[in-house]
Chains A and B, each alone.
Chain A
Amino acid sequence: MASEAIASRRWRRPPPIANPRLRWAIYGGALIYLTLAIASIEVNWHRVYEGLDRGWRFVQGFLFPDFISRFGDIVQGMEESLTMTVTATVVGVAVSVPIGIGAARNLAPLPVYLGCRAIIALSRSFQEIIVAILFVAMFGFGPFAGFLTLSFATIGFLSKLLAEDIEDIDEAQAEAIRATGAGWWQLVNYGIQPQVMPRLIGLSLYRLDINFRESAVIGIVGAGGVGATLNTAIDRYEYDSAGAILILIIVIVMMAEYLSSYVRKWVQ
């Protein structure tokens, strides 16, 4: 009797897909697809070889950047980009807060919720470059189109994350504020705001840094900023000036990163 109780029983972690045939069919199918997909990529090795030379010159430009000869253009582009970034972030955040509150199911009545969610979906479904092309067509070349693009993109990003943060709050704290007889605005100010504020500040700073990087990209389609300067430099094969611009972008993004991590620690 004792030997029966001690007899060892094998144990293995149950596989994620129980049916072995289905399991091997899925693994095998994925492998075959991957092989065929890689095989279907056409590579023109001759063209790659030619491009290596140009790539090398680009690397050289990066190693020996030229800040001087296009100094005026670079400063103007940077100024435009920074202005666009800051104004678009401020306006975007200011618009995102009410939309984010409206898009939180635990705060907003259904029609408001649906309306705000629709705005967010619209803003998120278009990539910045496409929006920028549209705004450039509407308002002409220059930083105003860029400002509108970045504001629009900020709204989709920040409202959605804010709404999700509001939906994730500790309901007990909000319930306690409701129980005191507080009105709706007081509930938001006392029960919700303290819980979401650190994340809102962190996300705004994160968005500031995204907006700066995006400002360099949308400049390429004519929305002003340092992107336009960069595009011109590359078109003229002035890789040393382009290298200088890229280095400046990297430095500014790193500074923003450092600043935002410092501020985030401080607001926690």
Chain B
Amino acid sequence: MLRIEDLRKRYGSGEEALTGVSFAVPAGQVVGLIGSSGAGKSTLIRCVNRLIEPTGGRILLDGLEVTALGRRALHRVRRRIGMIFQEYALVERLTVMENVLSGRLGYVPFWRSFTRRFPQRDVDTAFALLDRVGLSDYADQRADALSGGQRQRVGIARALEQDPELLLVDEPTASLDPKTSRQIMRLICEICAERRLPAVINIHDVVLAQAFVDRIIGLRGGAVVFDGPPAALDAAVLTRIYGEEDWAAIQRRGGDDDEGAPGIAADRLAGLA
């Protein structure tokens, strides 16, 4: 259970990114956080594990006040929060296995991580997770040898290797094609359901969000302007979140954008030949 109370962040430049955000996410719920660029989505998600220090308000994870912790305790709580990134943020020159095992860094002493001698239990978990995301044959490949979708699966495995109690997901599909995007979103949501994990997902693609998440929170100018089920997203609400635009097309499209991209890709390849 994640509870955010009156969260505020003002950057050194004086820019106010968050102006008092409050909401709670119960176990197993997947929340999609939408809003235009600069609305504070990225800041909000990074304040939860204090990669960015909030300037006001409280964050509670299962009753523990994350915002009040010292350095060591912060490291201990970070290992309970898995994070999945835009552009994957894998360490490119490390192997897939090293990337997955890096999810255990908060749990093992330095010498174990330095010599890559992780406890057998951690290695077993890592192999099981690679199986789960369909990449067990790639354990010894370097991360930069994988495709975008595969890399994001490694990112998911790394987050789960932490054995997290909360998932923070930052634009997981921003650089993926529509089909892979749907597969990645489906995988994240299935895993959250299996493990009863609460998750906060920043997402640009409203249609994709509607198709997969349980609840949508709309941010605008650092404040919550919508909080409700995906079905309640109508033109009026979208205008409140993003501003004036003809929203009819986005609602008609629904979930049928699966097939478009491969055709376009094939055309491009034909053009190159």
Q: Is the CB of B110 within 8 A of A181?
A: no
Q: Does B91 contact A (CB under 8 A)?
A: yes
A175-B51, A189-B114 as given contacts; A183 in contact with B89, CB under 8 Å: no
A177 contacts across to B, CB distance below 8 A: 91, 102, 105
Q: Does A121 contact B (CB under 8 A)?
A: no
Q: Is the CB of A186 within 8 A of B113?
A: yes
Give 25 CB contacts A-B under 8 Å.
Answer: A172-B85, A172-B89, A173-B90, A173-B92, A175-B85, A175-B89, A176-B85, A176-B91, A176-B102, A176-B158, A177-B91, A178-B51, A179-B51, A179-B81, A180-B102, A180-B103, A180-B105, A180-B162, A181-B78, A183-B105, A186-B105, A186-B110, A190-B91, A190-B94, A195-B92
| Complex: chain A residue closest to B101, CB-CB | A190
A172 contacts across to B, CB distance below 8 A: 85-87, 89
Instruction: Tell me the dominant secondary structure on chain A's binding face.
Output: helix
CB distance from A192 to the nearest CB of B (A): 9
CB distance from A177 to the nearest CB of B (A): 6
CB distance from B272 to the nearest CB of A (A): 26
Q: Does A219 contact B (CB under 8 A)?
A: no
Report the tally of A-B residue pairs with Cβ distances under 8 A. Answer: 84
- B residues apposed to A, CB below 8 Å: 49, 51, 75-81, 83, 85-87, 89-94, 98, 102-107, 110, 113-114, 155, 158, 162, 168
Q: Is the CB of A179 within 8 A of B49?
A: yes
Interface size class of A (residues with CB under 8 A): 20 to 34
A195 contacts across to B, CB distance below 8 A: 91-93
How far apart sit A180 and B101, CA to CA, in the bound complex (Å)?
A: 10
B158 contacts across to A, CB distance below 8 A: 176, 180
B92 contacts across to A, CB distance below 8 A: 170, 173, 194-195
Q: Is the CB of B75 within 8 A of A183?
A: yes
